[in-house]
Structure 1
Amino acid sequence: MKHLSATDATPRSLGFAMPPEWERHAATWMSWPADDELWFGHLEAVRAEFAELVRTIARFEPVQLLTRDAHSRQDAAERLAGADVTFHDVPLNDVWIRDNGPLFVTRASGEVSLVNWRFNAWGGKFDSAEDDRVPEAVTHILDASHWDVPVVLEGGALEIGGAGVALTTRSCLLTDTRNLGLDAGKYADWLREYLGVSKLLWLGAGLENDHTDGHIDTITRFTDERTIVTSVEADETDPNHAVMSANLAALREMTDADGQPFRIVELPLPAEYLEGAEGRLPPTYANFYIGNGFVVVPQYGDPNDARALDILAPLFPGREVIGLSSRAIIEGGGSFHCITQQQPAGAVWTGE
């Protein structure tokens, strides 16, 4: 197993790039919730929703589950008995593996490798020392060669659409609490060399009171190379209305790798205002997760739940679109995409 740094050959130079989420997976990686204080006293309800999500994913593909202590492992094992889940003891601060985990890259020969970006809990908002080491733990579990990159990047801040195209937001990546001095052009350079992104498209901002500073995966997602689904807010008095409308207008002017306009599909935000321990929560249907033959979509007991499923189902032909409760999980500020990380199918690259 090799540790490669920014001074070595880059993934792009060796033919690696990050594939879109809809390509075949070997597994889904997740972390089990363990801290009742972080969940504002809702840990039991959160674990119940986690268990339903893990069991659903495990019907379609293996789940690799990180547990931070013996109690967490026992709790998860009891709730997930009989499911296709492998447990790994790894020190953790929290569960947001989309952001603190590695990002996987593949190449045409069928090999899979990993890129270990730095994680500082969305600009130093929470403790993150253990979570910053999760990519190293995953590489040891897989015995995989990988790149260590001295740049802060969360997986939820980047939406990969295939053909070298990706989406992100200025409000997140350009904060000075992540990578002071990195502008849009320098980010594009890093993402080109380490994830194979040849065309980086920028939206303005995300949802109100999103502690990630506006992750793209809570508002706007690719469903295929030509189709983008984006969140909209009909209520003109809602603070999200102007931001989502500006993003929608920008998307309609954007083009794919061949210079062709995208197909843009509007996805409503939940209709009801949700209040958490720290103010308004950012519930969204765009935080779905795509896997082998399925898509899981968060539901909140909201009037727009069924409408969101009806909009998304035709966008994923050949996949079962499944709505699952995320009313407790959203108390932590994220949902299904935030707590999952796909490992693409393929042989793990050993660096040879």
Structure 2
Amino acid sequence: MTAPQPEWAPHAAVWIGYPSHAELWLEDLDPARDEVVAFAKAVHAEGRGETVILVAATVEAADDARARAPFAEVTIEAFGDIWLRDTGPIIGGDGTAHRFGFNGWGGKYDLPGDSDIGLRLARGRGLTVANHDWIIEGGAIDGDGTGLVVTTEQCLLNPNRNTGFFKTAAEARLHDDLGYDRVLWLGDGLLNDHTDGHVDNLARFVGPNRLAIPQAAENDPNWRIYQDATARAQAFGVEVVPVPSPGRVLSPEEEIIPGSHMNFYIGNAVVVVPLYGTGTDAAAIAAFAGIFPDREVVGLRADHILTGGGSFHCISQQIPA
């Protein structure tokens, strides 16, 4: 079993979920579509990047996607919502599409189509599919390409995913099914994250044994979480690369929401970083430009996508070259 390639390895294409259900997005539907198209356009990079496949759930959404994004391929596959990082297949180093159980992030959002969208996307690409009988979402793990993977205890050991799942069992499954031979366990994820602490909002590998972790901003509700993650990573022997945190990001109802610059996407030509207008945007772009000198760093607002619960990394799933 060969572990999945790191995200900075070459991609053949990327699936990106396209907002399709007005009843889920309400007044955010049209602006969220604008943000998704801007993200897709940046990743495509006028043909210098990778093929973009916008996945729409309805004919109306597909027609809208084609009109707004003529540079992209558009496919229609029924799904509940756009979070393809979690519902799409995880493609291993040998090209096998791994499909895991999915239960709506611990039973919170049970939407038709989400449980088998990964299988349909993989078959549509003609990929060999391996089915696994435990629950994990793609946003819960991140690998560095050497067999090392990072995750959080809050998510992967949560009884709302796999009952009676302990670290030894999780590590064995990650090894047997995905080829990871070392696991860096972080603690909790971001405050009020309905995914129960997905690591792709907290810490991301940016090179072999190099993990980017936010450094707390003033009045940052996640400052203890960042400190704990940094301490655990350093104790494990991983190099920690500090990046800015957007700090306190609030909903229109003044509730703390899990806005994070860490939900970036590493494409063939660009790194796309979500921005929230909190005053750290320029510093975040500069930090990632230093981390990825071989790629253009593009910062884009993701406020309306975030109303649905995620950002650019959450709505995308790369197809390795």
TM over 0.5: yes
Counterpart of 2:263? 287
CA contact (8 A) 2:220 2:247 kept: no
CA distance, structure 1, for counterparts of residue 3 and residue 187 of structure 2: 25
Mean Cα displacement is larger for which, 281-290 or 52-61?
Answer: 52-61
Shift, 1:292, TM fit: 0.5
Shift, 1:276, TM fit: 4.6
Counterpart of 2:206? 223
- Compared with structure 1, are the counterparts of its residues 140 and 23 closer, same or farther at alpha carbon in structure 2 (3 Å cutoff)? same
Counterpart of 1:161? 144
- Compared with structure 1, are the counterparts of its residues 276 and 174 closer, same or farther at alpha carbon in structure 2 (3 Å cutoff)? farther
1:343 counterpart SS class: strand
Counterpart of 1:63? 52
1:172 aligns with 2:155: yes
2:15 counterpart SS class: strand
Q: Deviations over 1:215-271 (max 9, x none)?
A: 100010111003211023244x5431112111111111112xxxxxx3212222214
2:3 maps to a residue whose letter is A
CA distance, structure 2, for counterparts of residue 320 and residue 44 of structure 1: 27
CA contact (8 A) 1:288 1:337 kept: yes
CA distance, structure 2, for counterparts of residue 280 and residue 294 of structure 1: 29
1:322 counterpart SS class: strand
Counterpart of 2:9? 23
CA contact (8 A) 1:120 1:128 kept: no
Q: Deviations over 1:313-349 (max 9, x none)?
A: 111121111111111111112111101101101xxxx
Counterpart of 2:105? 122
- Compared with structure 1, are the counterparts of its residues 342 and 314 closer, same or farther at alpha carbon in structure 2 (3 Å cutoff)? same
CA RMSD of aligned residues (A): 1.5
Counterpart of 1:100? 87
- Compared with structure 1, are the counterparts of its residues 204 and 276 closer, same or farther at alpha carbon in structure 2 (3 Å cutoff)? farther
1:175 counterpart SS class: coil
Counterpart of 2:272? 296
1:247 aligns with 2:233: no
2:227 maps to a residue whose letter is S
Shift, 1:303, TM fit: 0.4
CA distance, structure 2, for counterparts of residue 46 and residue 299 of structure 1: 14
- Compared with structure 1, are the counterparts of its residues 270 and 339 closer, same or farther at alpha carbon in structure 2 (3 Å cutoff)? same
1:318 maps to a residue whose letter is D
TM-score (norm 2): 0.95
Counterpart of 1:51? 37
Shift, 1:272, TM fit: 4.3
2:208 maps to a residue whose letter is E
**What is the percent sequence identity of the aligned residues?**
36
